[in-house]
Amino acid sequence: MSWNGRRVLVTGSEGFIGSHLVERLVEAGASVRAFVLYNSFNNWGWLEDLPPESSRSIEIFPGDVRDEGRVAKAAEGMDCVMHLAALIAIPYSYSAPASYVQTNVSGTLNVLNAALRHGTRSVVVTSTSEVYGTARFVPITEEHPLVGQSPYAATKIAADQLAISFHRSFGLPVSILRPFNTFGPRQSARAVIPTIMAQALAGRRDIRVGSTHTTRDFTYVKDTVEGFLRVAEVPEAIGHVLNLGVGREISVGDLVRRIGSVLGMELSIVSEDQRKRPAASEVERLCSDNSRARAVLGWAPRFSLDEGLALTAEWLRRNLGAYKDSIYNL
């Protein structure tokens, strides 16, 4: 299917994955309406860093997903809605759970209502592997139980269930993508890979992290973005949840050593209590089964962990000033 001329609304467009998605959609020929969180500085987040050739095909649409009327206006005339706007920092969700309910649950409800009202032909809702909680079996399939081990995860479970209910109740053409620990350029310092790299590139050799034994399944951002394009192209994905992950896990401790190898540095680890989740809230293990995405979307990850880490490090070296490496970023 061609993206030429297709009108696409991307919420959360100014963020990490969102900005990469907008850039890729423009490259594919789509006309993108970029829904960015309104602020008095008129700052468009990472969209500010896109090259001029990408920016010309982007309509900036400031607003807030918690505002039902503004979301409805943004969805008007769109062929496709890709919903990525969310509060995602797990530590902050312990302190401000109401904000997560308002943004992640009510915001998603506003997007679904807007798409239903305007007869949008394709809606993609972004989930997270955190909804599975600690793996009860690996690899984790889409049938794995959903366990909200943090307020963030609980709100994403609620958002996913709302999306599924709109498909079942009203026939809304919704698909849910469930990425496993996407990483790459532009990711915030609250994520583990940029926080490790930022500390190392700033000259620190004692890398401060939280728990070191937990495992994650890391997917490079360009692979995740291709999943978004594929899912909006495939009618068979409608009404389904699809994991996007590599299918390999690595512990945080081993990740520090892997990053040190990529950077050519000898790194040691300092585990700090303030960076650890409450014991019952910690997700100990995540490792994806991506066979549904492979079968339905024809999707497969192309970037190895080391390739993705090298590309991320190259970008971070040029943008280290954007990171506060000396503090714990919530």
Q: Catalytic amino acids? A: 152
Cα separation, 253 vs 236, whole angstroms: 39
Residue of 47, 118, 45, 41 whose CA lies nearest to 81: 118
What does the block give as tokens for 240? Answer: 């389904």
3-state secondary structure of 36: strand
Distances (CA, A) of 324 to 95, 177, 201, 253, 312: 21, 31, 12, 22, 17
Place of tokens 């495939």: 234
Where helices occur in the chain by DSSP H, the ranges are 16-28, 52-55, 68-75, 90-95, 97-100, 107-118, 151-170, 192-201, 221-233, 252-263, 291-297, 305-318
Residue 4 class from Cβ within 10 Å (0-12 exposed, 13-18 middle, 19+ buried)? exposed
What are the φ/ψ torsions at residue 253 (nearest 5 degrees)? Answer: -60, -45
Q: Tell me which H or E stretch contains 248.
A: none
What are the φ/ψ torsions at residue 69 (nearest 5 degrees)? Answer: -65, -40
Which amino acid is it at 235? Answer: P
Rama region for 133: left / alpha / beta (φ>0; ψ in -120 to 50; rest): left
Cα separation, 285 vs 265, whole angstroms: 27
Four-CA torsion 4, 6, 7, 8, nearest 10 degrees: -90
Distances (CA, A) of 243 to 87, 141, 297: 20, 7, 11
